Amino acid sequence: NAGVTQTPKFQVLKTGQSMTLQCAQDMNHEYMSWYRQDPGMGLRLIHYSVGAGITDQGEVPNGYNVSRSTTEDFPLRLLSAAPSQTSVYFCASSYGQGVFYEQYFGPGTRLTVT
Amino acid sequence: GENVEQHPSTLSVQEGDSAVIKCTYSDSASNYFPWYKQELGKGPQLIIDIRSNVGEKKDQRIAVTLNKTAKHFSLHITETQPEDSAVYFCAASKAAGNKLTFGGGTRVLVKP
C-alpha cells in the first residue's frame, strides 16, 4: 500500500490564484480529513469527510472547499488564495469514525502565498 | 469547543535522560488522547494513545498517563536516544467521530 499520498509537495501561489491540493489513499478508509499546520499552533482541522458524498466543516473552513466523489480521493480547493493561507497542509485518513481508529497522515504540501 | 494546551514548546535533553511533555484539555467529554511524532519533512505518526477508562499505558520506552479529574495527560520517554529527536503533538477527541484537536507541539532535541 502507498498509504496516504499528497500532491504537490511544494507550491507557490500569488494572492487571488486558485488551486487544488490532491489527496488519495489506497487503504479503503471511509474517514478523510484536511489539517493545516502553522508554527506553534499544532494542526487545525479544515474539513473532513465520513464517506463518499459526505463532507463537513472543521475548525478553520473559511477559504477552502472540499468534495468527496470517491472513497479514495479527497481534494482541497483554495478558491482565491490569501497570504494567511500560507501553511503546511496535511491530509489524513482512518478506517471509520465513532471508535478510535488510528489516523494516517500524508507527507504534507507546503504552500506559500505571496 | 475543545482546547488543548501543550508544554513545553521546546525540550532539550541529554541522551539517556528522560523527557516529559504535558498537555491539558478543556472539554470533559473528550475521552481519546493520542500522541503523534513528526519527523522533519514528514507527516505526524501515531506513537501511543490512551482512552479515558485507562490511567496509564506503556509501550517500551514511552508511556502516557491520564488524569481525567484534572484534565491533563503526559507523555514520558525514558532512556532517550538521538532518533527520538522530533516534534511531538498531543491531541484530544470525543467518542463520536475522529475530529482531533491538537496541542501546539513540542520540539524535542536529544543531544548525544
Residues A83-94 pLDDT 10s:
999 999 999 999
Neighbours of B3 (CB within 10 A): 11
Q: How far apart are CA A94 and CA B30, in angstroms?
A: 19
Residue A45 is nearest to which of B9, B99, B104, comparing CB atoms? B99
**pLDDT tens, B23-41?**
999 999 999 999 999 999 8
Looking at residues A41-70, what average pLDDT do you find? 94
Looking at residues A27-56, what average pLDDT do you find? 93
A contacts of B4 (beta carbons < 8 Å) = 42
Backbone angles phi, psi at A97, to 5 degrees: -130, 170
Cα dihedral: B62, B41, A99, A34 (round 10):
150
Chain B touched by A110 (CB under 8 Å): no
Residue B5 carries which side chain, given as an amino acid letter? E
Q: From the CA of A41, how many Å to the nearest CA of chain B?
A: 4
- End-to-end CA, chain A: 36
- CB-based contact B99 A48, cutoff 8 Å: yes
